[in-house]
Amino acid sequence: MTSSIAQLRNVSALTTLVEQLIGAPIGQERMGCFYGPSGWGKTTGVSASELLYGVIAIEVIENTSKLDVLRQIQEPLGITSRSDIPQPGACGRCLHA
């Protein structure tokens, strides 16, 4: 399979995923996961989905922390962090207020 065919298939697969999430019943969780090899159309698909559907996309790599994921979700929603919530220190385990 050539890279351009894989890109089109991934864009189509992401569009299908987004449409399923949008059409999910009220009360059902609406978070999808889309992954694949580099160069197969993930970024193109995400960009199209952001423009067409207004989705919020975040990128998670191997060492992304739970807090980083939450911050990536908060920012586009305009949610600010409370300063009284303890934040992890440099080691990632200890908390600092």
| Model pTM score | 0.66
Alpha-carbon gap, residue 59 to 27, rounded angstroms = 25
Alpha-carbon gap, residue 40 to 8, rounded angstroms = 8
Give, for all 97 residues of the chain, the pLDDT tens digit.
556 666 777 788 888 999 999 999 999 888 898 888 888 788 888 888 888 898 888 888 888 888 888 888 888 888 887 666 666 665 555 554 4
Contact 32, 17 (CB under 8 A): yes
Count CB atoms within 10 A of the CB of residue 10.
22
Backbone torsions φ then ψ of 95, nearest 5 degrees: -110, 145
